[in-house]
Structures are given as structure tokens and as C-alpha cells.
Amino acid sequence: MKELKVYNPATNEVVKTIQYTSEEEANQQINKAQVAFESWRERDAHDRSALLLKWYQLIEEHKEELAELITLENGKPYKEALGEVAYANSYIQWYQEEAKRIYGKTIPANQKGKKIITDPFPVGIVGAITPWNFPAAMIARKMAPALAAGCTIVCKPALETPLTTIRMVELAHEAGIPEDAIQYVVLSGRDAGRIFTESPIIQKITFTGSTPVGKQLIKSSADSVKNVTMELGGLAPVIVHKDADIELAVNQTIATKFRNSGQTCISANRIFVHKDIEQDYTALLTEKVNALNVGNGIEKDTDMGPLINQQAVEKVIDQIEDAVEHGGELSLSIEQLKLGGNFLKPVVIRHANLEMKVMHEETFGPIAAVMTYDDLDEILKVANDTEYGLAAYFFTNDYRTGFDIYKKLDYGVIGWNDGAPSAAHAPFGGYKESGYGREGGIEGIEPYLETKYLSIGNM
């Protein structure tokens, strides 16, 4: 049986060795999910809700254990990992409640004696694929609404971080959710993508990850017209207007930029600051960024952990070198920011411009590139000039300017004076090549439901 070693990105030591799932086993699991679907969909919504509540409570009881697992396999600081468990669990809590609020409606008919009603039904068996950057949250955002809607689900976590998912699924079983209703497979993305999309049983693919992989999955889902939800990459702009509260803008930029070492899909990628305040903003940003303590996430005083692997380190260094070649000024020299292993010190780049890779490519690392602007309308066009449309941020204290920017930004998630907009009760998702479908909020259960309507005559 093939083995998978899960490494700690802080030490490069093996955290645990687990078994891969074979293709035959994966197909058997999908068959079992189909059988489980028949009874899970028939359970009444209050019953499903009660089981999800029990699961939520067990995760709360095991939050320290889960947070430690996240830190060990992903590298993020323990306090951030604990925050991720709470955030992941808030989706389970939200959809535990939403399970009871899946409503149909009555549509006025155009003939006497006729009645039209609609009802949402579960879409079927779900195949879920998730990335390593939020090992608990990305999967909770899929498992909770799928189960609440009456679907059964087979999850494929990233091979860097499968341990958190495995533990969450075990806790779901302990809570009483049937074992075949929620399962995991340990497969490479390529294999899971092929098995899920070729399966005649799986009705829905829900994916969080990079845009190129999302496009492949959309293409291979087309043959059997599977229902798909795509949460893909981002290139978030931050606009700091001249009337912004500079300290607030700096603190919130740090929150969005350096969480998880900058490895989030909604991390600030391009920071546009009005020329009148650029000097003050950058000075304060640099001071605070220099104070961030980089180290092993398991240590209590760590603010920022390592990157996930060497490939990620190399990509970030490449973007920094490219920025320097194009006139960027670094807050630390390249030699100073390399700390060895997968660790990098966070860096601020002044005099950023549109020639730089960092202004066009998703960074997934601790670089804050700051470019100045003069005209707000011009910079809004620059902010929108990308194939991505996931998250965007802006800072202004003027409400007219604020609503105008909100209206003009072509992004799905927007933070106004807010660097942490994501919440279980709000619909998260992107425009353009950042994907389609929403996770969170009342909208987040819709991808797991099909609407049926019934027309009754002769009443």
C-alpha cells in the first residue's frame, strides 16, 4: 500500500505517515456514499441539524487538538490555527441552523384550479477538493452545507494537510453522522479529479484551489454536465485613499496581508496608496511589519510561520527579485529576509509599478508591494484590470467615496476599512476567473440544492 508522509513545514520533519486510498477503494467509497444518500436525504431536517450541532460541539471540545494539527501540517501560528478552527466551526454552526430553513414556495398560477409549488431537494453525492492553506475551514465550508442540504460528501484534502480533515471527519462520525455520509480519500489531486469527474454517481464537484486546476475540473465535469462550484485564485487590490485613517489602514493591511504568511486567496496582493499619504502609510507599515516575529508556529510568541514548502519560497523570492529589477525599494535586503528552511521575513516594497510580477501574479507570500496613485478613478480601473475578482479592500472615511468605490470594484468580497471581511453568515466567492458559486450565508447552501416544481391541475 502506498504511503504518504505529511511534513511539518517549520522543521521538515514527518508529522505522520498515512496510507493512500487506492482507486478501487475510492470507487467503493463513492458507492457507499450513494447508498447513504438514500437514507440521509430522508432524515428530517431537524434530525440532520441536531447531528451537525453535536459535531460542532465536539469540534469545540477538540479545538486545541485540531489547532495543533493545523500548525504541525500547515505551519501557521498556533493562535491563528485556533482562530481557524473557530472560523471553520462557525460554518458548521451556521449550516446546522440553515438545515431547518430550506424553504419552498408557492407561485401564483395563471389558471383557475391550478397550483404551482417549488421545493429544494439535495443535489446528490458531492466530491470536494480543497487546498492546504486552511485545512479546517476550506473543507468545513463544503461539508457543513452539503450535509445540511441532505447530500452525502466525499472529501479530498490537499496532500500537504490531510490530517485535520481526517480528524474532523472522525469527529463527525463520533457525533453520529453516518460514516458513509461523510468520508475522506487520500489521493493526489489529479487522481481525485479524474475519479470524481468520471464517476456517474457524483453529481456535484466543489473545488477550492488555483484557477488553472479549477479550469481543468470545469472542462472534465462538462462531459457529464456535473454541477460545479469553484472557489479559485485572487489578486486582491487594497486602495488607501487620501482621507483614510492611516493607522487603521496599516493594521488592517497587515491583517489581510500577513495572515498565514500571505498564503490566502484574499491576501492583499497590490497596495495602491494615494500620493499624499504614501510616505506616512509606508513608514508605519514598515515599522509594524519589521516587528512581526517569524518562527515555528508552535511557539507562543510567533506572529508568522513558514511558507508551505521550498517551491513557495522560491516563487516569492522570484517576485521580490523581479520587483527590485523594476525599481522597487525593499525594506530589507534579500539576504536579510531569507531565514533558512521555509522561513522568510515579511517585506515591504516601495515604488511598486505595473511592470512588476507582484502586481499581476498571485503572490501567496509575505510581500507588501506599495504603488502610489493620484486619480481615484484611474486606480479603480487598474484594480479591476485583472482576470481575478475575489477580494478587494479600500480605506476611506468619506461615505460617498466609499459607496462609489464599492459600486465600481468588480469583486465578490469587499472590505471597507476592514481587512477581515470573511464570515460564515456572508456569501464568499469571486467574479471572473476567481470562480463561481458562493460559500457561507444563505447563499452557501444553494449549490447543494436543486429546485423542483410541481404544477397541480384540476384542484
Active-site residue set: 231
Give the one residue of 52, 82, 232, 369 binding ligand NAP; rule: CB under 6 A. Answer: 232
Which of 363, 396 has the CB closer to ligand NAP?
A: 363
Q: Which three cell numbers stand for residue 31?
A: 458507492
Asked if 163 is part of the footprint of ligand NAP (rule: CB under 6 A), the reply reads no
Asked if 182 is part of the footprint of ligand NAP (rule: CB under 6 A), the reply reads no
The least distance separating ligand NAP from the CB of residue 103, rounded to whole angstroms, comes to 27
The least distance separating ligand NAP from the CB of residue 390, rounded to whole angstroms, comes to 5
Q: How far apart are CA 36 and CA 16, in angstroms?
A: 30
Q: Which three cell numbers stand for residue 337?
A: 529576509
Q: Which three cell numbers stand for residue 313?
A: 519560497
Q: Which three cell numbers stand for residue 284?
A: 508605519
Asked if 417 is part of the footprint of ligand NAP (rule: CB under 6 A), the reply reads no
The alpha carbon torsion through 211, 66, 77, 299 (nearest 10 deg) reads -150
Asked if 132 is part of the footprint of ligand NAP (rule: CB under 6 A), the reply reads yes
- Touching ligand NAP, residues 135-154 (CB under 6 A): 138
Pick the piece of the chain touching ligand NAP (CB under 6 A) from 57-65, 176-184, 207-215, 396-404: 207-215
Q: How far apart are CA 316 and CA 318, in angstroms?
A: 5
Asked if 158 is part of the footprint of ligand NAP (rule: CB under 6 A), the reply reads yes
Q: At which residue does the C-alpha cell 456569501 appear?
A: 427
Q: From residue 218, how far is each of 211, 273, 436, 439 by CA, in Å?
A: 10, 37, 11, 18
Asked if 80 is part of the footprint of ligand NAP (rule: CB under 6 A), the reply reads no
Give the one residue of 190, 381, 408, 452 binding ligand NAP; rule: CB under 6 A. Answer: 190
Asked if 215 is part of the footprint of ligand NAP (rule: CB under 6 A), the reply reads no
The least distance separating ligand NAP from the CB of residue 354, rounded to whole angstroms, comes to 21
Give the one residue of 45, 117, 159, 423 binding ligand NAP; rule: CB under 6 A. Answer: 159
- Touching ligand NAP, residues 356-375 (CB under 6 A): 362
Helix pair angle (246-258, 278-290), 10° resolution: 50
Please count the other Cβ atoms lying within 10 Å of the Cβ belonging to residue 255: 15
Pick the piece of the chain touching ligand NAP (CB under 6 A) from 71-79, 125-133, 332-340, 413-421: 125-133
The C-alpha angle with vertex 257 and arms to 372 and 62, in degrees rounded to 5, equals 170
SS3 130: coil
Q: How far apart are CA 56 and CA 54, in angstroms?
A: 5
Which of 155, 175 has the CB closer to ligand NAP?
A: 155
The least distance separating ligand NAP from the CB of residue 332, rounded to whole angstroms, comes to 25
Q: From residue 238, how far is each of 371, 417, 444 by CA, in Å?
A: 10, 10, 26
The least distance separating ligand NAP from the CB of residue 205, rounded to whole angstroms, comes to 9
Which of 188, 397 has the CB closer to ligand NAP?
A: 188
Using an 8 Å Cβ cutoff, are 329 and 351 in contact? yes
Kindly write out the interface string for residues 81-120 of this chain, putting x where it contacts ligand NAP by CB under 6 A and - elsewhere: ----------------------------------------
Using an 8 Å Cβ cutoff, are 264 and 361 in contact? no
Q: How far apart are CA 269 and CA 182, in angstroms?
A: 35
Give the one residue of 75, 122, 124, 193 binding ligand NAP; rule: CB under 6 A. Answer: 193
> What is the 8-class DSSP label of residue 41?
T
Give the one residue of 19, 39, 118, 188 binding ligand NAP; rule: CB under 6 A. Answer: 188
Using an 8 Å Cβ cutoff, are 229 and 206 in contact? yes
The least distance separating ligand NAP from the CB of residue 215, rounded to whole angstroms, comes to 10
Please count the other Cβ atoms lying within 10 Å of the Cβ belonging to residue 222: 11
Please count the other Cβ atoms lying within 10 Å of the Cβ belonging to residue 455: 11
Kindly write out the interface string for residues 376-415 of this chain, putting x where it contacts ligand NAP by CB under 6 A and - elsewhere: --------------x-------------------------
The least distance separating ligand NAP from the CB of residue 376, rounded to whole angstroms, comes to 27
Q: At which residue does the C-alpha cell 391550478 appear?
A: 114
Residues that bind ligand NAP in the complex, under the rule CB under 6 A: 129-133, 138, 158-159, 188-190, 192-193, 208-210, 213, 216-217, 231-234, 265, 362, 390, 430, 435
